[in-house]
Chains A and B, each alone.
Chain A
């Protein structure tokens, strides 16, 4: 089983430090793919002032570990790092980081995309947006389900 480090936290993270940390001392790694998700200032044509992420402590960590185990099973990876934040975030804030490391780029790219697609549909998070019209819960998107089904 490859190391899959998973954090669910309120605090921000340092993308550079996380990527560097993943490959330190592992000279078999040939490529690292990463994805950073950010809060946007618009959604559904409406300005978004902030987004509050709620999650299910306990289940969230288990769900992320299961998704990471699935990726490790399907691709020859050397390391996986997932950080997902919760709490109130503002436009421009980082929400999520997925980093995958492998001997070759294809596995790193594919596993990174797979992890993001699966996070959307299998990690117990819910988002509430603050807009000038009031607060609204973000509905799960059917295109996210379709993206996850590709795998």
Chain B
């Protein structure tokens, strides 16, 4: 799956995007975030608290309990501030 990070989440992780293959059983956004936390200190710092984390799956706003699968494009970002 393709992951994209924006704003301070991107800064903390140090990457704008990456392609990952999480282990079997990682099938929700929540599960993905839990798995990402273990990938390094930048990830742990970005996802220390999920309250300010928003998500889009395949460019549509989704929820932390939304299902995800291989081939999905998942973006993780803080609350948006357009306009």
Q: Give A contacts to B, CB under 8 Å.
A: 37, 54, 56, 58-59, 62, 84, 95-96, 116, 119-128, 137-141, 144
Contact = CB atoms under 8 A, between A and B. Distances in A.
A125 B75 contact: no
Contacts, number: 66
Contacts of B77: 56, 124, 126
A45 B3 CA distance: 36
Interface of B: 4, 6-8, 56, 59-61, 75, 77-83
A83 B4 CA distance: 24
A4 to B, nearest CB: 16
Given A62-B59, A125-B80, 6 more contacts: A54-B6, A56-B77, A59-B56, A126-B78, A128-B7, A137-B78
Contacts of A62: 59-60
A137 B77 CA distance: 12
A56 B7 contact: no
Nearest to A138: B81
A48 to B, nearest CB: 14
Top 5 A-B residue pairs of the complex, sorted by shortest distance between their CB atoms: A123-B82, A140-B79, A126-B7, A59-B59, A119-B83
A9 B19 CA distance: 27
Interface centre among A95, A96, A140 (most CB of B within 10 A): A140
